[in-house]
Amino acid sequence: MKKYTKHLVIIFSILIHINFTKAQENQVKLNNFKHEDSLKLQLQKHGLDLYAMPEFDPCFRLSKPPLLRDLPFEPSDSMHFDSATIDTTQLIIGSGGLGKSPGDVNIFWIHGLNGSTETWAVAAKATEYGVMKNNEVVFPARKANSYRGLPSSNSNPVQLYSEDLGILSASQDVEDYLDSEVPITDRTSKDFIIAHSQGGIVGREWLRQSVINPSTFKNLPHGLVTFGTPHDGAEILNNTRPDLRNKVPNFMNEACKSLVGAYVIPKINSNFGSKLLISSNMQDKIIGLGCGLVANSIIPFALDNYHKRTTLDYYNGSKYLTGYNSTSGHVQGLSEYKLKVPVVQFYGIEKAPVLWKFMSSVLAMGHDKLDNKEIIFGYEKDNELELKVNDMINEFDALYNYEQNMADHYGKQELLFYTSSILLGLNSGLALLGYNATLNKNASIENYRSYGKAKVWLTNANDYYLTDIVGARVTNTTLNCRVVGNLDCRDNRYNPINSGVPPVNVNIDYNFNTTNSACNIQPVNVAYADYRFRGHNGSEWHGPCTGNLTVIPEFKITYWYKDNDGVVLAESAAKEINVDKTNPFNTHAIVELPETNHDQMKNSTITKKELKRLYDGVHGPFFAIPVR
């Protein structure tokens, strides 16, 4: 079916190309009409004018519908999927420079850490060319030119900037490329940046340098839009960089031992020979050595690609962000610099379980990647991995219960055979059966423990990830103080001392919480110097009380998780950065992307919605771009 589809697409493209070429030829003929002046005179008699259309007319006159020239992505600009499987009901309007016109706004799309020029491919092309679905414009093209760098491919991802020399150097790379790419005559005062994640930090530095270092940095961008940028620092870097908290090896080691054990141990125990020869200690050593190698050697090596020099400039607390004092004076941090342009900050909040939803998007497990039905702004289905993990948990739970029952069964056999062997005078046959039952029982115990460990790790993996990697867990320790006692209270009006009227006995039992390290209460003679209580006659009395109170302290630990997109905490991406608001044109908007993770926000329906609102001027008039 793929072959037929591919052939149909090729034929369809060729036919459109032929028709387009003929239309161009007709236009050329019209432009070169031999008796053009005579025709003009004849038309003017009837109040009509002759308009010679240019060879590339972006307006598509003659009441014809827009020419659907291209599929969403050209083979030369690969989006990492087989273009033959694209749903052709979604088409991007226009082609090449066909729709460009003088005065178009230039948008500079900047990718994040380990990203490439394909990161923003969908949004950039949709902005410039528009999107149609089922013959309806679902995302109108804007009067804008998108610049995101050279096209990439599966085998050769291209980055707009180098990540090996820090943020300042990265911003210099962006400046150098776009200064050479965007003609001076095409630059406008409304050109701006749209950046993802680390790209927002690069964009902020680029804007800063264009002001403080104008001899090197041209004044190209005049506005900033960020998606999921850790403006206040990335806590995930603090937890994962080897030179900081380095929690990845332990996290991966526990994952490996828990999950691998659930497959390796039952496999060993399924064979009589391996079950007999490989003890549980040896099993632990085998798994421990293998997982240790993976966690401490292979994983750090694989993640080294994410520990680029640029990440040293924006981990949480980085001096590059906060600034610092040196022998020559204070060095300004990026967060201390006040931007002099309009800004929009988009931040994502993903639903739980964040880990599985985020990883589902990263691994492209949704139908939007598999069959490409929703590839354009279609990063929506992010629960595939969550469903798979739930299936694994249920499977491990079932296996756990089965092996536990089998351990009980073999335990009963063991008792029966050994007891029978003793009663029958140490019968060797029964003793051998008892020994075999012991082996089976121990194997089942090892099996259900391995299944249980895997089930527990998978169940808690999201919490582990948010706590150890993302840094989203907030722990709150409070002291609950229970105060109990029995007091004797008097009212000098009715039962004073030596009156012969007994005191009123009052039971005290109440709780209060404190963040202090101890439950501090006032003495009874102070706290109950004028206590109100019910007297012997049923009316309210008041007066001093005597007695002792007992305090029962109990520490309570509560926790919750901060909102995040699976990588960046919402509080960081939504941290209001410094903007010079003395200029009324420097608007500043901070916008939530609900149910959106760090990977989704590059190509989701929420992104489509907010980009449309951005271009409509909802998030600030500076970013308003007319429909083409």
pLDDT digits (tens, 9 = 90+) for 532-543: 999 999 999 999
Does residue 61 sit within a domain?
A: no
366 has pLDDT over 90: no
331 has pLDDT over 80: yes
Same domain, 130 and 248: no
Same domain, 526 and 614: no
Does residue 134 sit within a domain?
A: yes
| Predicted structure pTM score | 0.76
Same domain, 107 and 202: yes
Domain count, the chain: 4
Same domain, 580 and 493: no
Same domain, 393 and 504: no
Does residue 604 sit within a domain?
A: yes
pLDDT-based confidence at 49, cuts 50/70/90?
low
Specify which residues 532 forms β-bridges with.
Answer: 542
pLDDT digits (tens, 9 = 90+) for 13-39: 333 333 333 333 333 333 444 445 555
Same domain, 580 and 511: no
Same domain, 360 and 259: yes
Does residue 62 sit within a domain?
A: no
Does residue 195 sit within a domain?
A: yes
How far apart CA 483 and CA 477 sit, in angstroms, is 19
Same domain, 158 and 44: no
How far apart CA 48 and CA 27 sit, in angstroms, is 19
pLDDT-based confidence at 246, cuts 50/70/90?
confident
Q: Which residue has the higher pLDDT, 420 or 575?
A: 575
Give percent above pLDDT 70 in the chain.
80
Write down the number of H helices and E strands in the chain. 18, 16
Same domain, 345 and 355: no
Does residue 166 sit within a domain?
A: yes
Q: Which residue has the higher pLDDT, 323 or 31?
A: 323
CA 219 to chain centre: 32
Q: Which residue has the higher pLDDT, 342 or 283?
A: 342
Q: Which of 410, 438, 470 is a domain's end point?
A: 470
Q: Which residue has the higher pLDDT, 127 or 303?
A: 127
Measured in residues, the chain has a length of 628
Q: Which residue has the higher pLDDT, 417 or 42?
A: 417
Rounded to 5 degrees, what are φ and ψ at 546?
Answer: -125, 160
Q: Which of 34, 55, 76 is a domain's end point?
A: 55
Does residue 60 sit within a domain?
A: no
Does residue 625 sit within a domain?
A: yes
CA 456 to chain centre: 24
Same domain, 423 and 546: no
Q: For the stretch 80-89, what's the b/e string if a residue is b when 16 or more beta carbons lie within 10 angstroms of its beta carbon?
A: ebebbbbbee
pLDDT-based confidence at 489, cuts 50/70/90?
very high
Nearest CA to 67 out of 4, 31, 22 is that of 22
83 has pLDDT over 50: no
Q: Which of 470, 494, 527 is a domain's end point?
A: 470
**What is the pLDDT at residue 129?**
92
- Cβ contacts of 539 within 8 Å, gap of 6 or more: none
**What is the pLDDT at residue 511?**
95
Residue 26 structural domain: 1-55
Same domain, 394 and 280: yes
Same domain, 203 and 267: no
> What CATH number is given to the structural domain containing 165?
3.40.50.1820
Look at the block and give the residue holding tokens 């399924």.
270
